[in-house]
Amino acid sequence: MAKYLGDAMLLKVESAPASGTYAKIGGASSHTMSLNNEVVDVSDKDSNRWKELLAAGDRSLSISIEGFISDEANFEIFRIAARDDVIINYTMEFGNAKTIVGAFHIDSFEMTGARNEGQGFSASLTNSGEPTTLD
């Protein structure tokens, strides 16, 4: 099975609403994607004290990103989406040619800075609706 570098995962933002054109958010240095699947407990007296679960609960996809702030227009779209509390479209492209596309809300956005360091940012995003995977 082929392996690929962690920096082969790119987060891109839709550069204009409903355009279908995506561009990377400048300055990203690390990303994390988490898929969360909740279960529904349907245990009853016939379960003989063993928990029984249904794979029918809520699902969510979360993305965390860290990097350095750039003056690129795509980062500005990202920053404004956080400021204005709006849901916009993003893609995540992986080194194995898989792509996830979907609408996401920026749950948190933080800018950081220290003497002798570049100004940084971090953010957490959560999906709104079902994302799609393109192969």
Identity (one letter) of the amino acid at 18? A
Q: Does residue 135 surpass a pLDDT of 70?
A: no
85: left (phi over 0), alpha (psi -120 to 50) or beta: left
Beta strands in 15-98 (DSSP E): 22-24, 28-37, 40-41, 53-54, 59-68, 87-93
Q: What is the dihedral of CA 20, 66, 4, 14, to 10 degrees?
A: 0
Query: How many residues comprise the chain?
Result: 135
What kind of fold does domain 6-134 have according to CATH?
Pnp Oxidase; Chain A (2.30.110)
pLDDT in tens, 75-114: 999 999 999 999 999 999 888 888 999 999 999 999 999 9
